[in-house]
Amino acid sequence: MTSLVWSRPVISRSIHTNILRTLRVDGRRHPCHDGPMADVVDVNRDHRLDFAELLAAPGVEEHCELRSTFGFMAYHGGALEEMTDVIARHAAEQAGASYYGVHQPRGMRNHISSTRVRPEESERLAAYLGHVHVVVTVHGFGRRGLFASLLLGGRNRLLADHVASHLRPSLPAYDVVTELDRIPSELRGQHPLNPVNLPRGGGVQIELPPRVRGSSPLWWDWEGGLTPHTEALVAALADAAMAWSD
């Protein structure tokens, strides 16, 4: 199976932050946040910034790796929704699946809504969406009452149930939610312009709380790459991808 890999060159810069606890994965350190708003604090929701401008920003990396027609995406990756790109990319590699990600550098947290992530503004994203048949888009969130919940939105509900059937036995301590009426409306991924719904078979938007990503206080002293919960998550996602039939 061939693999076509595109990576946008990285312009490095030094950014100082006040993050005290980090998790080392793939040679990078990822912050471990300790509050209920772990994924929404210090986020610049600049609606004037379009997707092309974000991709052109210093330090932003855009990755497109074309393999099978099952895809994983993490376009809020890097410092924005920590570990989402690591999880999606590891799952794609294990499954021989395709991967698209946008990784923001440490200290940068520009949140562009999913409906503004447009293939018209990225040759790589357009090529990716034209190649895959279905996709699992990985996001991170933190919300009171849902810190042990994995939320599976997106318009392909058959795929959502399929992915959930692999996640539940692998992550028994978590509530894997597929019922849309149990998912907050803004996290359901139902808008037709959301990239998760643009491949010909649509896809699943999975929202992950900090704990399963290894970004919660539970893992402050973890030294060994991916945490056990994250390893189990990645393996389950990869298994779901390999078991899926169009």
Instruction: Assign residue 182 the CATH number of its domain.
Output: 3.40.630.100
Tokens of residue 191, six digits: 């808008």
Please, which pLDDT band fits residue 235 given cuts at 50, 70 and 90?
A: very high
Question: Would you state the pLDDT for residue 25?
Answer: 53
Q: Is the per-residue pLDDT at 80 higher than 80? A: yes
Burial 95-109 (b: 16+ CB within 10 A, else e): bebbbbbbbbbbebb
Whether residue 58 is contained in a domain is answered as yes
Tally of CB atoms within 10 A around 157? 15
Q: Label residue 240 exposed, middle or buried (CB < 10 Å: 0-12, 13-18, 19+).
A: buried
Dist. CA 132–CA 193, nearest whole Å: 16
Of residues 56 and 223, more confidently modeled? 56
Whether residue 177 is contained in a domain is answered as yes
High-pLDDT (> 70) share of the chain, % = 79
Dist. CA 41–CA 112, nearest whole Å: 15
Q: Which of 117, 115, 91 is nearest to 104 (CA)?
A: 117
Whether residue 3 is contained in a domain is answered as no
What's the structural domain count of the chain? 1
Please, which pLDDT band fits residue 41 given cuts at 50, 70 and 90?
A: very low
| Enclosing domain of residue 209 | 34-243
Average per-residue pLDDT for the chain: 86
Q: What global pTM score does this model have?
A: 0.83
Q: Is the per-residue pLDDT at 29 higher than 80? A: no
Whether residue 215 is contained in a domain is answered as yes
The continuous run of DSSP H or E covering 3 comes out as none
**pLDDT tens digits along 162-173:** 999 999 999 999
Whether residue 18 is contained in a domain is answered as no
Please, which pLDDT band fits residue 223 given cuts at 50, 70 and 90?
A: confident
